[in-house]
Amino acid sequence: METPLEVDFESLEPSSTLVEAIRREVRSVERLVPRLIACHVVVREPHRHNRTGRQFEVRIHLTLPGGEIAVTRGAGNRRREDPHVAVRDAFVQLRSQVRKFRSVRRGDVKAHSRGAGIRSAA
**Percentage above 90 pLDDT, the chain:** 44
Give the chain's mean pLDDT.
82
Q: In this structure, are residues 30 and 4 in contact, taking their beta carbons and an 8 Å threshold?
A: no
Predicted confidence (pLDDT) at residue 11 exceeds the cutoff of 90: no
Across 35-82, the runs of DSSP E, i.e. the strands, are 38-44, 57-64, 67-73
| Mean pLDDT of the 19-32 span | 93
Question: Quick count: other Cβ atoms within 10 Å of Cβ 67?
Answer: 16
Fold of the domain spanning 5-120: Double Stranded RNA Binding Domain (3.30.160)
Amino acid 65: pLDDT: 87
Question: Does residue 11 or residue 54 have the better pLDDT?
Answer: 11
Predicted confidence (pLDDT) at residue 114 exceeds the cutoff of 70: no
Predicted confidence band at 56 (pLDDT cuts at 50, 70, 90)? Answer: confident
Kind and range of the H or E run holding 87: helix 83-106
Three-class DSSP category at 109:
coil
Backbone angles phi, psi at 15, to 5 degrees: -125, 125
Amino acid 106: pLDDT: 78
Angle between helices 83-106 and 16-32 (to 10 degrees): 20
> Rounded CA gap, 115 and 118, in Å?
5
pTM over 0.95: no
Distance, CA of 52 to chain centre: 24
Amino acid 115: pLDDT: 53
